[in-house]
């Protein structure tokens, strides 16, 4: 493990801040341990939690006891299978939501349950909300999400915007194109219309393969987001590739890179500071 003094922190010569969020906390032990370690080393801004996992209470309490509750949010899930939880395949959910034939009552019920489970364990509202496989931007789902958040919280948690302008990232990968087709830009416009707090630029989408040039990708994202007001990068680190996790090897590669000296060096190279909180500046 690297020396904490060399970890990227606010005030190490940077001029702009970016937010780095590790998704899938509580998915499994390798993911949760890795995220906790990165938070402890000051190499993450925050993490997004899966409350339907059988290990959620255990890992959520670890997160809270380590005093990271203010740096955590809900990773709203409709597609990841957990024991005893009814979910849909991503493809089927995309089709049904696009045709507006999705079960609205079921979506609302599972969202409420996940929010309840989050606040029960963390003893406070999520600092932010996003979606596993970006389901929160899908037709119908996005409307239900915003209705529930608006009704439930007087202090609004910020919501992930996945639609950065093209000139911020240079090109739009295929995956980003699919997300846009499923409502990414429409949702971004809706957040502005609602005057809802959100990030103004987004990065972190790639093939999630272990042979991907992750360090090169990260440097490109840092360069692209350096001019943003509240730029967000998502990541998926884990201490090891756990059996059954199809992107486990990519998770392990991400963890190794963030724990290496390449991460603070990249921040310094692009004159960027890592925000060590989940509090975004006002973007509306």
Q: Among 61-70, 72-81, 204-213, which is the least confidently predicted range?
A: 204-213
Distances from the Cα of 251 to the Cαs of 148, 233, 284, in angstroms?
Answer: 32, 15, 33
Is a pLDDT exceeding 50 seen at residue 108?
yes
Angstrom distance (rounded) from CA 32 to CA 27: 7
Q: In this structure, what token pair is assigned to residue 40?
A: 């402890």
Q: What is the mean pLDDT of the chain?
A: 88
Angstrom distance (rounded) from CA 159 to CA 184: 12
Residue 23 is inside which H or E element, if any?
strand 16-25
Q: What is the pLDDT of residue 173?
A: 64
Best-predicted range by mean pLDDT among 12-26, 79-93, 156-170, 180-194? 79-93
pLDDT in tens, 232-260: 999 999 999 999 899 999 999 999 999 99
Is a pLDDT exceeding 90 seen at residue 159?
yes
**143: which residues sit within 8 A by CB, 6+ positions away?**
none
The neighbour count for residue 215, using CB atoms within 10 Å, is 16
Q: What is the domain partition of the chain in residue ranges?
A: 4-274
**264: which residues sit within 8 A by CB, 6+ positions away?**
6, 7, 8, 12
pLDDT interval class at 7 (50, 70, 90) = very low
Q: Which class in CATH covers the domain with range 4-274?
A: alpha beta
DSSP state of 76: E
In DSSP terms, 48 is beta-bridged to 73
DSSP state of 181: H
pLDDT in tens, 188-214: 888 989 899 999 999 998 889 999 999
3-state secondary structure of 145: helix
DSSP state of 261: T
Is the C-alpha dihedral spanning 129, 132, 135, 141 positive or negative?
A: negative
DSSP state of 282: P
């Amino acid at each position: 493990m690297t020396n904490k003094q060399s970890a990227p922190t606010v005030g190490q010569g940077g001029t702009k801040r970016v937010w780095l969020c590790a998704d899938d906390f509580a998915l499994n032990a390798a993911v949760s341990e890795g995220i906790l370690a990165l938070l402890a080393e000051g190499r993450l801004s925050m993490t997004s939690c899966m409350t339907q996992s059988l290990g959620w209470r255990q890992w959520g309490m670890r997160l809270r006891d380590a005093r990271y509750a203010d740096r955590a949010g809900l990773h709203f899930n409709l597609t990841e299978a957990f024991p005893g939880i009814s979910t849909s395949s991503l493809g089927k959910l995309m089709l049904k939501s696009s045709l507006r034939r999705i079960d609205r009552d079921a979506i609302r019920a599972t969202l409420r349950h996940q929010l309840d489970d989050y606040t029960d364990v963390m003893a406070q509202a999520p600092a932010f909300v996003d979606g596993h496989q970006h389901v929160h931007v899908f037709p119908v789902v996005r409307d239900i999400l915003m209705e529930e958040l608006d009704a439930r919280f007087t202090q609004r948690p910020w919501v992930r915007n996945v639609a950065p302008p093209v000139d911020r990232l240079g090109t739009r990968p295929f995956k980003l194109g699919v997300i846009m087709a499923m409502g990414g830009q429409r949702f971004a416009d809706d957040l502005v219309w609602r005057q809802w707090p959100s990030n103004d630029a987004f990065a972190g989408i790639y093939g999630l393969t272990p042979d991907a040039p992750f360090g090169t990708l990260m440097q490109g994202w840092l360069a692209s987001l350096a001019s943003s007001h509240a730029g967000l990068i998502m990541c998926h680190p884990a201490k090891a590739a756990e059996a059954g996790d199809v992107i486990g090897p990519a998770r392990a590669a991400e963890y190794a890179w963030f724990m290496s000296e390449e991460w603070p060096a990249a921040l310094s190279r692009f004159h960027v500071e890592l925000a060590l909180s989940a509090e975004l500046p006002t973007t509306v």
